Structure 1
Amino acid sequence: MTAKYARKDTGRSGSRENIAFIRQMLAELRQVAEKEKADMLCYLIEMAYVEAGDLHSRM
């Protein structure tokens, strides 16, 4: 028997707000990583930040 999962429909504005929140958190994390001189972590966080921006602009 397969479990069925209900998808919560937050609507487009809810999704847009969630992506904006994620993007903001990534910006803050990048600042922390910069202070720690964690270059690779900064790079990966920056890539996620760019992706979040792309997603946000397409919504």
Structure 2
Amino acid sequence: MGHVGPYEWAPRGHSVEKVAYIHQMLGELRQVAFAEGADMLCYRIEMVYVEAGDIQSGRRPQSFVKRDENKPAGMPV
């Protein structure tokens, strides 16, 4: 993939559409948190929303680390 911003990167098995979907869902979750008066939750969702937007626009790479070394904790969702 060519240069898409200050970083050169290619999503690893993730499409631009999936990141756009995540960004959209975070926006909706932020509205729900705001309506419920959950200020800290709203703030944290906003931080992730901004990061997803940066990834979507190419201003930030999807990851700074190797995926094999930093696996998720396996928390139930």
TM-score category, normalised to shorter length: 0.7 to 0.9
Unaligned runs of 5+ in 1: 1-8
When normalised by structure 1's length, the TM-score is 0.74
Quick check: which has more Rg, 1 or 2?
1
User: How far apart, in 2, do the equivalents of 1:53 and 1:33 lie?
Assistant: 19
Identity %: 62
| Aligned CA-pair RMSD | 1.7
**Other-structure match for 1:29:** 29
What are the Cα deviations for residues 1-57 of structure 1, in whole angstroms up to 9, with x where unaligned? Answer: xxxxxxxx75xxx61100000000000000100011000000000000000000001
Letter in 2 for 1:55: I
How many residues are paired up? 48
Write 1 or 2 for the structure with the bigger share of helix: 1
Give structure 2 stretches of 5+ with no counterpart.
1-11, 62-77
